[in-house]
Amino acid sequence: MATDGTGASQAQLKQVASKISISAQIEPKTSFAHQQNGIPFIRDLRVTNLCGEALENLELTISFNPHFADEKHIFVQRIEAGEIFVSDVVDVSLSGEYLSGARESTAGRIVIECISQSNVVGSYSGETRLLAFDEWAGLSGLPEILAAFSQPNHPAVERVLRSASELLSKAGKLASIEGYQSKDRKRAWEIASAIYGSIANLGLTYANPPASFEKTGQKIRTPDRILVP
């Protein structure tokens, strides 16, 4: 059974009149891409002592529902009356297993409790949106994370490059895809043209993005999904 810092079981904890004010900045949306890139999930955690005396041996417990991150415990030795304990970034271990398996977005809840002498003396709750593993949050949440969905080493991309190499060979050109290594502008154009031709030969059609996708985000089609016959 889980215990607090004094050995008391969770069932024995009591909610008392709030002696502590807790606030935090929660990332409004998070995903497998955030987890893989180590994006901080909880910032600017502030614990304010509201009572007229110092509080000692405090334990901050951060729990998550569903279990998309490991429960976090922070121990604070002492907060003087009226003082504020501040943690700029809280090291939260997001679950890669959970987030990589998410097929649709769901609501996530974060609860922070401050425990003193087996009593809950302050609490805070917040919410986040747990995105599907292949979902981009748009401009509403760290838009630059879009780059994390690039998969240059995906087998489906290799298929396109092999086809481009064959097109170069048939045109009597060097078949290698060496990019800018030749330091020849004409050669770079040849490779780009072959890759374009390879993609054109796939017979892909355009799919309209959802309304306001740039603000709200959308699902990202991975290379293997694009190449499905």
User: Are residues 84 and 169 both part of a single domain?
Assistant: no
Please tell me the distance from the alpha carbon of residue 218 to that of residue 212, in angstroms, as a whole number: 9
117 in a domain, yes or no? yes
Distance (Å) of CA 13 to CA 3, 117, 225: 9, 9, 50
- Residue 160's domain spans which residues? 150-202+211-226
Q: Are 9 and 26 in contact (CB under 8 A)?
A: no
User: Are residues 71 and 177 both part of a single domain?
Assistant: no
pLDDT of the residue at 13: 62
User: Can you tell me which residue has the tokens 């425990």?
Assistant: 115
Full-model pTM: 0.78
pLDDT of the residue at 88: 94
User: Are residues 106 and 160 both part of a single domain?
Assistant: no
User: Are residues 96 and 30 both part of a single domain?
Assistant: yes
pLDDT digit string (tens) for the chain, length 229 residues: 344 444 444 445 665 557 899 999 999 999 999 999 999 999 999 999 998 899 999 999 999 999 999 999 999 999 999 999 999 999 999 999 999 999 999 999 999 999 998 889 999 999 999 999 999 988 877 889 999 999 989 999 999 999 999 999 999 999 999 888 888 899 999 999 999 999 999 988 887 777 777 777 888 888 888 887 6
User: Are residues 46 and 99 both part of a single domain?
Assistant: yes
Please tell me the distance from the alpha carbon of residue 98 to that of residue 102, in angstroms, as a whole number: 7
User: Are residues 178 and 117 both part of a single domain?
Assistant: no
pLDDT of the residue at 92: 94
143 in a domain, yes or no? no
65-100-229-197 Cα dihedral, nearest 10 degrees: 130
Among 179, 198, 181, which residue's Cα sits nearest to residue 189? Answer: 179
What CATH number should be reported for the domain holding residue 47?
Answer: 2.60.40.10
User: Are residues 111 and 176 both part of a single domain?
Assistant: no
Q: Are 43 and 149 in contact (CB under 8 A)?
A: no
**Type of residue found at 112:** I
Please tell me the distance from the alpha carbon of residue 56 to that of residue 58, in angstroms, as a whole number: 6
26: left (phi > 0), else alpha (psi -120 to 50), else beta?
beta
Q: How many domains does the chain have?
A: 2
144 in a domain, yes or no? no
User: Are residues 14 and 127 both part of a single domain?
Assistant: yes
pLDDT digits (tens, 9 = 90+) for 113-160: 999 988 899 999 999 999 999 999 888 778 899 999 999 899 999 999
